[in-house]
Amino acid sequence: MLTTALALLPLLLQLPGVLAGVIAAAAMLVALLSWRKVPSMPLRLLLVAVMLAAIYWQMGAHPGRDTGCALLAAMLAIKSSELRSLRDARSLIGFALFAPFAAFLLDQGPTTLLLAAAAVICALLALQRIADEDAGIRPLAVGLQLRTVGRLMLLALPLAMAAFWLVPRLGSPLWGIPERAIGRPGLSDSMQAGQWLDLMVDDSPALRVQFFGPPPAQNQRYWRGPVLTRFDGRRWTRLDYQRTTPRPPFEPGAAQWDYQIEYEPTDDRQLVSLDLPLNNPSGTFLDADYSLLRPQPLTALTRWRMQSAAPQRFQPELPPALRQQALQLPDGFNPRTLALARKWRSEAGTDDAAIVQRSLDWIHREFAYTLSTPLPGRHGADEFLFDQKQGFCEHFSSAFVVLMRGAGIPARVVTGYAGGVRNRFGDYWVVRRMDAHAWAEVWLPERGWVRVDPTAAVAPERIYDTLEDRLAQQGGTAAGGLDLAGRWDSIVQFGDWMRRGWNTAFLSFDAKRQQRLLSPFGVGELSPSQLVALFAGFAVIAVGAMAWLLARGERQRDPLLRAWHRLGRHYARLGLAREPHEPAGDWARRVELRYPGSGLMALSKRFADARYAGVLSDHVSLLRDLRRHRPKPGASP
């Protein structure tokens, strides 16, 4: 039962929470029902029906990898109801081993690996115990069993490592999407009020950034994603033709940054870059809005080396078609906002910058930031600016752009991420999914597109504040040590640093890295045939070594008898071999005549008592003494 539970655990952690709870409850119920007798066939059929219904309820009628893994977990949970004999127990353990391996189809993190390793060790211990029961051998102490299992796993480790490093990897995964990317929230090509609430409560990492040089200031950490220009009154979308339009020039400022982004998997093609990217990495492209995309979905962990600079002037000449799109507003929406915009325009004349500043001052004075906002009606900008006066970045950016367009200022919405938290263990920055943000760009004469963040006017901590800043402001210590929040932050940061190291060493080891495996030794890229040859050679050596070690260990299954025979071989080299018919005591007395005080008499008595009389329970010390004993006069047992 323990083996089944440990095997189920890593798989259950990857399933939807409600479904995992149902399967775990079913497993415990079956264990209780099967404690004294095998449940009846109708009851087992009922459990199968309940499991299938639960899977359909949570995952729908969508056959695939995730549904198959859930079905495997459900069947394993009720498999123990069929236990009748040792043969059934052996079959159950073999079936249970599929569960941790199935978990790797859903997650390849270190936690899953550790849980799977624990399940495999427990399964090997159970199989060893079943084999001893079959052979009528008294089970050894758990420590000795663990040592035996550990030796077996160490024997297999070199071959497993060779398979990981040398078996040629496919350029694309064998499965369509190897990681649990489907359903992971990412940046969308559209924006509508309330759409991002799922993102804003998800604190999992979206990307990690390593800067090569000083990092940007807090007010420059804007990670540019989709640029949304078209507006239908409710939803903002991007201009499709911008993907094929030549990029406009921009004049970079003095501040420039060199960095590497480690992007977590999503089902999107959208990447982000620090505002604004100077170039696009190989395998990506920049559209005319300087939004970075990839032709294929980001279904695996990826790394991108980039350079960015704060723009001094960005597209100072605005094409007429783009100007028209950046001023477009649908008819019949937000009349109060448009009336206010016309009023401000008449008062400001041609000073666009004054209108922008006036709107920011208004937001600073009268608006609040909150996630608790009702869904907008038909006139979303009117409701936000004049009635509610509170919301989050989607409301602020959308209403601000509508207001600017109403005043005749070209404007658009930019989405991406803002901020980031520095990991002090690895000296890199973590940008979480909850850091998703929307801001605005307005076009001003001679300057071109200028970033304006209306949300920052009311709630700058939403964008710039980090956990480290808050800890510093609150003192971060209590009674000479870290407070509870500081300790938890350290644990989280250390865990993320470990995960990043795992990603670097294993999850990002793709076909390209494999081909450059021997480049530190001056060897060029390895072809698949060369990798196969290397693996075959290493496999032959590893299997030969395993066979030799196993052949050396092909002795009695009882470790106590094995140690006794090994001791006899030591004395055989001195011409004092024990005859097949000779009892242990007689042989020890014969050796004592040759080597008085050797200590073999006392050792042979302890062996005979443990082996035949069953009066000695401390097998560990006896095994140690048998292995250490050497045929020397005066030796002690």
3-state secondary structure at position 29: helix
* Contact partners, residue 249, CB within 8 Å, separation at least 6: 315
- pLDDT beyond 70 at 552: no
Cβ-contact 606, 636 below 8 angstroms: no
Tokens of residue 390, six digits: 């509170």
| Distance, CA of 467 to CA of 486 (rounded, Å) | 9
Q: Which of 161-170, 206-215, 374-383, 490-499 has the highest mean pLDDT?
A: 206-215
- Res 181: pLDDT: 42
- Give me the chain's average pLDDT, please: 84
The region of weakest confidence among 203-212, 258-267, 511-520 is 511-520
Nearest to 626 by CA among 604, 611, 610: 604
> Residue 328's pLDDT band (boundaries 50, 70, 90)?
very high
- pLDDT beyond 60 at 476: no
Nearest to 405 by CA among 212, 233, 590: 233
The pLDDT of 117-128, averaged and rounded, is: 89
- pLDDT beyond 60 at 221: yes
Tokens of residue 373, six digits: 């906002």
- Res 405: pLDDT: 96
The pLDDT of 515-527, averaged and rounded, is: 84
Cβ-contact 66, 176 below 8 angstroms: no
Choice between 111 and 555, residue whose per-residue pLDDT is larger: 111
- Res 462: pLDDT: 47
Chain centroid to CA 495: how far? 11
3-state secondary structure at position 413: strand
Q: Which of 89-103, 189-203, 396-410, 570-584 has the highest mean pLDDT?
A: 396-410
The pLDDT of 204-233, averaged and rounded, is: 93
pLDDT digits (tens, 9 = 90+) for 23-64: 998 888 888 887 777 778 888 888 889 888 988 888 887 778
- pLDDT beyond 70 at 276: yes
- pLDDT beyond 60 at 424: yes
- pLDDT beyond 70 at 109: yes
- Res 525: pLDDT: 84
Provide the pairing of β-strand 285-286 with 428-432.
unpaired
With tokens 């200590």, the residue in question is 599
- Res 469: pLDDT: 43
- Res 472: pLDDT: 46
- pLDDT beyond 80 at 531: yes
> Residue 339's pLDDT band (boundaries 50, 70, 90)?
very high
- pLDDT beyond 70 at 323: yes
Nearest to 107 by CA among 66, 136, 76: 66
The region of weakest confidence among 257-271, 394-408, 538-552 is 538-552
The region of weakest confidence among 112-116, 163-167, 208-212, 467-471 is 467-471
Tokens of residue 407, six digits: 């005043």
| Distance, CA of 69 to CA of 93 (rounded, Å) | 17
3-state secondary structure string across 178-198: CCCCCCCCCCCCEECCCCCHH
DSSP 277: B
- Res 324: pLDDT: 95
> Residue 171's pLDDT band (boundaries 50, 70, 90)?
low
Cβ-contact 177, 299 below 8 angstroms: yes
Q: How much of the chain, in percent, has pLDDT values that exceed 90?
A: 31
Q: How much of the chain, in percent, has pLDDT values that exceed 70?
A: 88
Choice between 393 and 598, residue whose per-residue pLDDT is larger: 393
Strand order in the sheet with 236-237: 190-191, 236-237, 230-231
pLDDT digits (tens, 9 = 90+) for 361-397: 999 988 988 877 788 888 989 999 999 888 888 999 9
- pLDDT beyond 50 at 122: yes
The region of weakest confidence among 77-91, 153-167, 604-618 is 604-618
The long-range contacts involving 508-517, CB below 8 angstroms and separated by at least 24 positions, are 508/262, 508/301, 508/302, 508/303, 509/164, 509/165, 509/169, 510/169, 510/300, 511/168, 511/169, 511/170, 511/171, 514/165, 514/166, 514/168, 514/169, 517/165, 517/166
Q: Which of 117-121, 293-297, 306-310, 457-461 has the highest mean pLDDT?
A: 306-310
The region of weakest confidence among 147-161, 219-233, 382-396 is 147-161
> Residue 483's pLDDT band (boundaries 50, 70, 90)?
low
- Res 556: pLDDT: 55
- Res 361: pLDDT: 93
- Res 273: pLDDT: 95
Choice between 496 and 371, residue whose per-residue pLDDT is larger: 496
The pLDDT of 402-428, averaged and rounded, is: 94
